[in-house]
């Protein structure tokens, strides 16, 4: 959420940012907020004047009574009572205008970083760099569920009977591989100085609206009926929510956390043939990382966060590339974002396995995450990044480590988490 003062003083910058994000339907909101803000400040000024006048008259009443001027004192009391009714009207109007302004401000997108490429959608995202040599083997690579089935490692039919489409049973060595990747990612981030965290898997609505836009919330979140609780779509939500309505001391920054959690998502929309199996699902597990830091430090942390994901995938012999998200592909709260994509030898192209985002002070402003600095209080900056989400990551892992005989190599870094196993053999 933008600073209202910034919008008031820089309406054209805000409007151009909206154009850059190809959300021209939101342009009238800027002028609407400015008009409501002017009315709100006028109402507040009148209310403040009335409060000051009432305070002054209240002091005078005591003096009049002391002098025995009872009639004058009663007249003054009557004036105070009349102003009380008007003040109540003004306070109600202030609250109403404030709510209208907040509702609109929650819709207006955050100011993107000047380095973000301008583009309408993800088709205009820009490749930054490749890491590792993408290899296409001289044997045919089956679809990922077929690879898993050869190890008796997945049961989609039973899951469909139990929960419907978008769920799965992972079994045997594939289930163990899934857990091994999560454990390895946890230790990988701990070794990089992050504090391990297992957060709540449900969050209240004020946290949901603090960490994401209404559009994202509608597309992603599952609501718990009859309670003010939502299942998390990613542990970033509850980890950032940990700091809601807090004042951190400057020497407590940065806060660097890495967390494990299950994730639950509606995943609305059409799904292509390459999004079957465990690619796009309603339930999965993930290792996440977040940072709460000083504003001037967030660009440096942004670079560190996505590099962590690149390094982890390369340690598992998976080629990856980084992709700069263009303006039209950025969610409304994001300042800048980079996707990490893994190489798929079967498709002979890259696909997304993680996303790193700098949200500036947007989440902190909504959640009231403040920092007590030498020159006063200010809003922190927040960042998040996927360490690894195994169901989708398993696709890249299995394809890139598959052998011609159907077995799958276990990279050295992962072997301790697989009981020393160097290869998964076909059943």
The active-site residue, picked from 40, 236, 265, 366, is 265
DSSP string, 31-90: HHHHHHHHHHHHHHHHHHHHHHHHHHHHHHHHHHHHTT-HHHHHHHHHHHHHHHHHHHHH
The active-site residue, picked from 54, 192, 204, 280, is 280
Three-state SS for 185-201 is HHHHHHCCCCEEECCCC
Evaluate whether 294 touches 250 at the Cβ level (below 8 Å).
Answer: yes
The pair phi, psi for residue 381, each rounded to 5°, is -105, 145
Query: Angle 173-134-148 (CA atoms, 0-180°, nearest 5)?
Result: 20
Can 265 be counted among the known catalytic residues? yes
State how far the Cα of 268 lies from the Cα of 266, in Å rounded to an integer. 6
Reference 33, options 45, 21, 18; nearest CA is 18
State how far the Cα of 259 lies from the Cα of 235, in Å rounded to an integer. 7
Judged by DSSP in three states, 394 sits in helix
Dmax of the chain from CA atoms?
A: 107
Identify the residue whose tokens are 């700098």: 358
Judged by DSSP in three states, 224 sits in coil
Can 392 be counted among the known catalytic residues? yes
Evaluate whether 236 touches 208 at the Cβ level (below 8 Å).
Answer: no
Can 51 be counted among the known catalytic residues? no
Judged by DSSP in three states, 358 sits in strand
* CA dihedral angle for residue 390, residue 392, residue 395, residue 401, rounded to 10 degrees: -40
Here the tokens at position 388 are 């690894």
State how far the Cα of 145 lies from the Cα of 150, in Å rounded to an integer. 9
Can 355 be counted among the known catalytic residues? yes
State how far the Cα of 419 lies from the Cα of 427, in Å rounded to an integer. 18
The answer to whether the bond into 254 is cis (omega within 30° of 0) is yes
Give the burial string for 161-183 (b: 16+ CB within 10 Å, else e): eeeeebbbebbebbebbbebbbb
The active-site residue, picked from 259, 298, 355, 357, is 355
Q: Which residues are catalytic?
A: 265, 280, 352, 355, 392
């Amino acid at each position: 959420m933008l600073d209202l003062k910034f919008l008031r003083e820089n309406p054209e910058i805000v409007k151009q940012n909206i154009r850059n994000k190809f959300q021209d339907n939101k342009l009238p909101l800027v002028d609407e907020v400015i008009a409501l803000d002017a009315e709100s400040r006028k109402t507040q000024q009148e209310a403040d004047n009335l409060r000051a006048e009432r305070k002054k008259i209240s002091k005078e009443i005591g003096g009049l009574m002391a002098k025995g001027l009872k009639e004058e004192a009663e007249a003054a009391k009557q004036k105070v009572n009349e102003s009380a009714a008007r003040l109540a009207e003004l306070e109600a109007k202030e609250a109403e205008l404030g709510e209208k302004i907040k509702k609109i401000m929650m819709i207006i997108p955050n100011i993107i970083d000047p380095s973000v490429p301008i583009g309408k959608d993800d088709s205009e995202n820009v490749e930054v760099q490749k890491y590792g040599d993408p290899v296409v083997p001289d044997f045919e690579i089956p679809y990922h569920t077929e690879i898993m089935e050869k190890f008796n490692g997945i049961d989609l039919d039973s899951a469909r009977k139990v929960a419907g489409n978008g769920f799965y049973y992972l079994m045997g060595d594939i289930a163990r591989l899934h857990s091994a990747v999560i454990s390895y990612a946890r230790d990988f981030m701990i070794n990089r100085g992050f504090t391990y965290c297992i957060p709540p898997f449900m969050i209240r609505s004020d946290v949901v609206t603090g960490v994401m836009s209404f559009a994202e919330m509608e597309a992603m979140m599952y609501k718990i009926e009859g309670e003010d609780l939502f299942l998390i779509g990613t542990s970033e939500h509850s980890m950032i929510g940990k700091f809601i309505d807090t004042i951190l001391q400057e020497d407590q920054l940065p806060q660097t956390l890495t967390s494990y959690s299950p994730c639950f998502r509606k995943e609305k929309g059409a799904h292509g043939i390459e999004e079957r199996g465990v690619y796009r699902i309603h339930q999965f597990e993930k290792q996440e990382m977040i940072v709460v830091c000083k504003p001037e430090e967030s660009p440096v942390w942004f670079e560190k966060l996505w590099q962590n994901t690149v390094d982890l995938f390369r340690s598992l012999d998976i080629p990856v590339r980084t992709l700069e998200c263009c303006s039209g592909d950025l969610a409304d709260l994001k300042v800048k974002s980079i996707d990490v994509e893994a190489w798929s030898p079967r498709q002979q192209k890259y696909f997304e396995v993680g996303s790193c985002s700098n949200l500036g002070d947007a989440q902190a402003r909504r959640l009231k995450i403040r920092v007590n600095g030498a020159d006063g209080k200010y809003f922190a900056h927040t960042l998040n990044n996927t360490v690894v989400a195994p169901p989708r990551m398993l696709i890249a892992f299995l394809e890139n480590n598959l052998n011609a005989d159907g077995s799958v190599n276990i990279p050295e870094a992962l072997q301790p988490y697989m009981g020393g196993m160097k290869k998964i053999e076909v059943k």
